[in-house]
Structure 1
């Protein structure tokens, strides 16, 4: 087992030598990931689909257990003291839970999870996310259900917020208002935010204090100050580029790296043009005939 280094309790989020492989997977989802996030920082994780962003956030939320890594939030081991970390995790799978698709009025649903205890903050979020308390959970659209999730998850104050693609269903106006709220909340309370997203329009430029790049389970660029410092390594590479331009370049580099791997004979994605496919459907589907 790897010996982990001392992690200062002053860091909001700390990771040391995090490696993780999903059951039955041939490739690891995370490979030796280490980083620290200071209190009050807002870090956007950039990376292609399958880079390991969701796996990292799920581990930080204590949703999966691994034994050969040290993951801490506010100095607490996330695998042994999840309740004491002060962390809130919001991911896309929430909207698929049958419980939140039942025939229940939104006001009753929010009260059932303690919304009445945080009325002022809850009401602020209801206004920002434009949620109707008379909606029924089984009748709302995907975007409206996502808004309800965000009220549900954000109405209780947090120390660390882990966001995994939860703004993907929001229209651009609501998303902009939400990001402004999260930024102001982070600055006022010193809350730390780690946000994985694939939406890099101009509205995201103002939000992060740091950006990070993940690819093939590796942390290619650890959390780096944003806007980029002109004389830093990334500052010299990207100049005054927008966050969209930085993300686009990193994703292009990821794709080229994958193609280099494929050139060695390992085909990862896309069509298999070297395979012979029958021209007629009868021959093609014959292999599925189990009548003999």
Structure 2
């Protein structure tokens, strides 16, 4: 009898169907979100602050429980099932206090598996231009971020979820990092979703775009479905012009931020109601 367990050696697909997610204050973080991203895709998740990007990424990573049947990662529920090879790099990871202490880069990389994956470690050190003799309390924010990226990516992953984690990188470091990620999807069985507001060097990087606003997906699809070739009159890439137009339309639709609408600042609540991420509802009362 053939096994019904999905093969987790292959690149994962991501399918979201009619996903609605509610925060503890009973406001909606996501509303009827549906999208489908194929294996080995590189997806840019675009939207203004509070659009729902972080909430969606945390649900995809399995950090929160989504309603049954709304999220499938190659046939598995990321919260309930044994989904392998998920790396989520977001706010908690960025703010990890250990990377500001008097500790060396060599020790940090060893602690996250650098000795088990020496070739990946050496490649990331080169790509991110890291000095192994740095002490973490004495480096700049950009240098610290490069070390954090190496720490997060040393272990091979199948699905990588990035929540605006390149903001401190200089232009060259970010370009090299994006090239590394693109090569990963071309050479390994892996899939990436990347939420960012910085579009430099990105016009030729993504395979798919997802545009979110006010907790909804307004449009999504492969890059060939969007007109982004060439450069716009402002000097932005056509990708930048497209996204700028989206955000202007979203602002007109949303109006001023004085009505309590949107999910900005709520994505890291520890719980949500009604099985929509309420892992331990009693903690909300503390």
> Mind listing any 5+ residue stretches in structure 1 that lack a counterpart?
1-7, 229-233, 270-292
Q: CA deviation at 1:81?
A: 2.7
SS in 1 for 2:137: coil
Q: CA deviation at 1:268?
A: 6.0
TM-score (norm 1): 0.78
Q: How many residues align?
A: 247
Instruction: Tell me which residue corresponds to 2:182.
Output: 183
Instruction: Tell me which residue corresponds to 1:226.
Output: 223
Instruction: Tell me which residue corresponds to 2:124.
Output: 125
* CA deviations over 1:206-229 (Å, ceiling 9, x no partner): 10011110000001102x11143x
* CA deviations over 1:169-191 (Å, ceiling 9, x no partner): 10010000111111111111142
Give the Cα separation in 2 of the matches to 1:72 and 1:141: 39
TM-score (norm 2): 0.79
Question: Per residue, is there more helix in 1 or in 2?
Answer: 1
Find the structure with the greater CA-based Rg.
1
8 Å contact kept, 2:94–2:165? no
Q: CA deviation at 1:86?
A: 1.9
8 Å contact kept, 2:214–2:261? no
> Mind listing any 5+ residue stretches in structure 2 that lack a counterpart?
1-5, 233-237, 263-286
8 Å contact kept, 1:213–1:220? yes
Instruction: Tell me which residue corresponds to 1:54.
Output: 54
Taking only aligned residues, the RMSD between alpha carbons, in angstroms, comes to 2.4
Larger relative CO (CA 8 A, sep 6+): 1 or 2? 2
* CA deviations over 1:75-116 (Å, ceiling 9, x no partner): 22111235x332211113323122333322110111112111
Q: CA deviation at 1:47?
A: 0.5
Q: CA deviation at 1:11?
A: 5.5
1:150 aligns with 2:149: yes
SS in 2 for 1:221: strand
Instruction: Tell me which residue corresponds to 1:108.
Output: 107
Range that drifts further, 97-106 or 167-176: 97-106
Pair 212,140 (structure 1): closer, same or farther in 2 beyond 3 Å: same
